[in-house]
Amino acid sequence: MSAQRDTQISPNARQFLEDTTMRSIFGIPEEALDAVMATAYQLYQAGRYPEVEVLCRGLIAADHRYWWSYSLYAGTLRRLGRLREAVEQVERGLVFEPGSEKLLVMRDELREELARDGAESNTNNHNQNAAA
């Protein structure tokens, strides 16, 4: 959402959007989301990450307050090598479930991977520059 649009939303409307899920607006049964979550997890286990990404985005659109979808989405992004995006999804999940042990551990692991990748990139750049 752009900064300009943000300022046009009243505080009451903003609160409504934060508190209300599409699932509740459209009356999507919990069982339907459970089935999508099960399918997404099976696809994740099968390594079909682009499809998992689509399902996770749909799950988050349907119920942006449920941490599990952010967790699977972050795991998928991690497998796709998109670590920064994975951290962002974990952070979003933590907004709604701040004490989630799984999300907290995942965030720490992702941050360590990012730091390690950054250190390796710096070492590789240094070695390339020294060789030149």
* Domains by residue range for the chain, with CATH: 3-131 (1.25.40.10)
The whole-number pLDDT of residue 1 equals 45
* Cβ-based neighbours of 86, under 8 Å, separated by 6 or more: 73, 74, 75, 77, 78, 110
The token pair that represents 100 in the structure block: 């989630």
DSSP 100-114: -HHHHHHHHHHHHHH
The whole-number pLDDT of residue 102 equals 96
pLDDT at 123 over 60: no
The token pair that represents 39 in the structure block: 């399918």
Q: How far apart are CA 62 and CA 44, in angstroms?
A: 19
Q: What is the mean pLDDT of residues 39-57?
A: 98
The whole-number pLDDT of residue 128 equals 57
Q: What is the mean pLDDT of residues 9-34?
A: 88
Q: pTM for the full model?
A: 0.79
pLDDT at 2 over 50: no
Tens of pLDDT, residues 69-120: 999 999 999 999 999 999 999 999 999 999 999 999 999 999 999 999 887 7
Q: Which residue has the higher pLDDT, 82 or 1?
A: 82
Q: How far apart are CA 19 and CA 3, in angstroms?
A: 20
